[in-house]
Amino acid sequence: MSYDLAVWEGERPADDRTARRVFTDLSDRYLDAEAAAPPSERIAAYVAVLLERWCEIGEDDEDTSPWSTGPLISEARGPLIYFPMRWSMAGEASAYAADVAQAMGLVCFDVQTSRLRP
């Protein structure tokens, strides 16, 4: 089981309902597109910060990475990244991911609850 977050560039939506619409639109344009758009510079920088804290899945013998897929950057398309985390580490990892997104001026959306993350 995994816990999924979406992070994107743009203005922070006014509420959770608007955020869901923005996420759906971005998902349709970037995640479901036939040709994969390369990650934007800001999203690539965001992923780099996450990987400074935790390595890619499978890169250590102790299995300390919270990511469910790898390489993590492969989940990014254009101005959006939609990425899964291991359920057992989702609390700590999602809080950190949301804090980093906020610090970098990105929007963080909890896909399971359809809520913006602070």
Give the pLDDT score at 36. Answer: 86
Residue 116 has pLDDT above 90, yes or no: yes
Which residues form the domain of 111?
A: 2-116
Give the pLDDT score at 104. Answer: 98
What is the per-residue pLDDT across 38-86, written as a single tens digit (0 to 9) for each?
A: 999 999 999 999 999 999 988 776 788 999 999 999 999 999 999 999 9
Q: How many domains does the chain have?
A: 1
Stated pTM of the model: 0.95
* Tokens of residue 91, six digits: 């609390």
Angle at 96 between CA 55 and CA 39, to 5 degrees: 65
Give the pLDDT score at 75. Answer: 96
What is the per-residue pLDDT across 1-49, written as a single tens digit (0 to 9) for each?
A: 789 999 999 999 999 999 999 999 999 999 988 888 999 999 999 999 9
Give the pLDDT score at 25. Answer: 97
Amino acid, res. 83: F
Give the pLDDT score at 44. Answer: 98
Buried b / exposed e across 49-86, counting CB within 10 Å, b at 16+?
A: ebbeebbebeeeeeeebbbbebebbebbbbbbbbbbbb
